[in-house]
Amino acid sequence: MVERVGLGNVNDRLLRAVENNRSETVASLAKIASGNRLTGAGEDPSASSISAQLRSEIQALSQAVRNTEAGANFVNTAEGGLATISDLVARGRELAVQAANGTLGDAQRQSLNQEFTAIRGEIDRTVNSLEFNGQPLLNGNLGADSPNQVNVQVGTGGGPEDQVNLNVIENAGTQALGIATAGISTVEGALQAFATLGDAADQINATRGRVGAMGARLSVAVNALGSRIENLSAAESQLAGTDIAREVSNLQLSQVRTQASLQALAAQNRQNLRIPGRLLDIQG
């Protein structure tokens, strides 16, 4: 009976060794597959906590990048509309110069004025229809003094340094540009319209300049956020990343140990089978 208990203890030790080695193999495989050495909360509590904080910050910064890119799309959409209006104003000036020519007759000026009127209508149509996610862009809703202030969250804090204000787009309608009643059906009207359209062109160009500067600022913000994410990712990888060469070595060692433990267990089991025959003096 004493010998049987002793043999049982040997088997138990061998089984524990097999299980421990198997667990080490599974752990190494998990680290190699995931690239993360912190596969369990107890692996390295301090490193796990810091790694979790870094990952959280990276996720927040990644959302800030998406916010900033959406802001850039917002601004680019407005720039497209302003470019269209700028072209229309330029065409209006061209028609005004043509209508001011004294060699034209009244019928010809009336024809030019019809196109000029259509241009004014197209400017207002563009202003009233251009939106981004339901937000009007060119009707003054995004002017500097507008009660509708639109901010892009470009950081992970709550301060003004983490936001960029997009209210740089003044009203681009014909009323705001001073050309709502302009006409070129007469020489005098054409000359007056030409001067007024020059002022309108200056206003549009000034707005386009502010919008362009905003686009450049958002582009810089995206690049800065990308650098922060890259640096934090490198830090998190260094802290939690798997040393592949080391883990492959550990995997191979645990596999060798597992095989050795299994062989020892098999040998012990064969020996156990011969013990009852020996006790009864039976030759095996």
Residue 178 belongs to a domain:
yes
Q: 97 with 118, same domain? A: yes
Residue 284 belongs to a domain:
no
CA distance 120 to 197: 11
Domain containing residue 57: CATH number: 1.20.1330.10
For the chain, give the mean pLDDT. Answer: 82
Q: 196 with 274, same domain? A: no
pLDDT tens digits for 87-141?
A: 999 999 999 999 999 999 999 999 999 999 999 999 999 999 999 999 999 999 9
Most distant CA pair in the chain: distance in Å? Answer: 137
243 confidence band (pLDDT: 50, 70, 90): very low
CA distance 163 to 6: 73
Predicted confidence at residue 135, as pLDDT, reads: 93
Across 36-56, average pLDDT:
66
Q: Which comes out higher in pLDDT, residue 56 or 252?
A: 56
Residue 40 belongs to a domain:
no
CA distance 23 to 19: 6
CA distance 84 to 92: 12
The closest alpha carbon to 88, from 45, 136, 121, belongs to 121
Q: State the pTM of this model.
A: 0.70
- Give the pair of three-digit tokens for residue 212: 């362009």
Predicted confidence at residue 50, as pLDDT, reads: 75
Q: 249 with 135, same domain? A: no
Residue 261 belongs to a domain:
yes
Predicted confidence at residue 207, as pLDDT, reads: 96
Predicted confidence at residue 244, as pLDDT, reads: 46
Residue 272 belongs to a domain:
yes
1 confidence band (pLDDT: 50, 70, 90): very low
Predicted confidence at residue 3, as pLDDT, reads: 45
Q: 160 with 268, same domain? A: no
Q: 197 with 72, same domain? A: yes
Across 77-89, average pLDDT:
97
Percent above pLDDT 70 for the chain:
67
Q: 59 with 16, same domain? A: no
Residue 137 belongs to a domain:
yes
Q: 70 with 6, same domain? A: no
Q: 30 with 64, same domain? A: no
Residue 224 belongs to a domain:
yes
Residue 22 belongs to a domain:
yes
85 confidence band (pLDDT: 50, 70, 90): very high
Q: 20 with 52, same domain? A: no
Domain that holds residue 210: 45-240
Across 186-211, average pLDDT:
96
Predicted confidence at residue 54, as pLDDT, reads: 82
Cβ-contact 170, 140 below 8 angstroms: yes
Q: 28 with 68, same domain? A: no
Across 171-199, average pLDDT:
96
Predicted confidence at residue 23, as pLDDT, reads: 60
CA distance 26 to 245: 16
Predicted confidence at residue 111, as pLDDT, reads: 95
> How many domains is the chain partitioned into structurally?
2
4 confidence band (pLDDT: 50, 70, 90): very low
Q: 132 with 272, same domain? A: no
Q: 236 with 247, same domain? A: no
